[in-house]
Structure 1
């Protein structure tokens, strides 16, 4: 056996640096999360404390940079698979929620443009919707638009559509 038969185990210095940079970027993503989203990610107490400290010292440039490096170092000694998976799930749910809101905005605009036909389509999609309330909000929104008033009924219509869709 020669010394070159174990080439697959040799990792270049550049590759190690790229891996360390990836771990540090993962740490930066964690630091940028809000507390509610951070609670959904499986983190141990030591790493969570380091993230909270980085969030508190965000305004001090050098201290923040060093804290991010420490978080990156801590991440290299942990299994980051569950953390990456939880971040991906958060991102996916965020995209789903945005897509739902865009769909609801289109449905609201269709209701305001066509009236009863779009209301019926919405009720077909969401049978628990109240037709009377939808028609009332539709009439109020049209009346406010004719009188050049602020679109409060239009916003209320969107809130109601969102409430029905997420219920």
Structure 2
């Protein structure tokens, strides 16, 4: 999806006369495209996106409609409402859902590197457990052993995938644990 070029993610520039009609039309189409992504989201994900109640109601109405022409008009209305929305936070949350944010991608690459190290080197398990002491030692060792067997026997990568998920969970728990410790230290000040 192309970037929406609004200054600091806030609606259209104040002076519409400075923008050509073509550029304005392109911006409206981009807003409608973003609205199209929003209407395809589940209720749970939609609830996490920061937006006005007007936009939320318009999206609910779109989902209720079944006629193509009515949906097309409603999508135009959603695009119109989005002119007054802060686009930046909405786009950021959608990128996060789609896994295209740089932080999410970096986290996935870290998990893959850790998994590969655990599989390739025996001492990597010890180093991993030193760095993440809250990890389930038994589970990690078992998954590494099973993954190595899968590779030897050329079996489907079930344990390989489970190891990825286990590492991901360990990292997420580490972040939560760090956040809780940060909060504890803040209270003491």
TM over 0.5: yes
Counterpart-to-counterpart distance in 1, 2:54 and 2:142: 54
* Residues 61 and 99 of structure 1: CA distance in aligned 2, closer, same or farther (over 3 Å): farther
Any stretches of 5+ residues in structure 1 without a counterpart? 1-7
Counterpart-to-counterpart distance in 1, 2:159 and 2:144: 8
Report the equivalent of 2:51. Answer: 43
1:144 aligns with 2:140: no
Counterpart-to-counterpart distance in 1, 2:154 and 2:126: 27
Aligned-pair distance for 1:166?
Answer: 0.8
1:101 aligns with 2:105: no
Counterpart-to-counterpart distance in 2, 1:165 and 1:102: 12
Count of matched residue pairs: 155
TM-score, normalisation: structure 2: 0.64
Q: Deviation digits for residues 3-32 of structure 1, max 9, x if unmatched?
A: xxxxx7744561543443343333223223
RMSD: 2.9
Query: Which of 125, 131, 134 is the aligned partner of 1:128?
Result: 134
* Residues 13 and 151 of structure 1: CA distance in aligned 2, closer, same or farther (over 3 Å): closer
1:23 aligns with 2:31: yes
Report the equivalent of 1:84. Answer: 88
TM-score, normalisation: structure 1: 0.71
Any stretches of 5+ residues in structure 2 without a counterpart? 1-14, 174-189
1:165 aligns with 2:171: yes
Contact 2:50–2:89 (CA under 8 A) maintained in structure 1: no
Report the equivalent of 2:181. Answer: none
Q: Deviation digits for residues 55-102 of structure 1, max 9, x if unmatched?
A: 354x754333222111112233x3x12x43243144257323343223
Bigger Rg, structure 1 or 2: 1
Counterpart-to-counterpart distance in 2, 1:43 and 1:9: 23
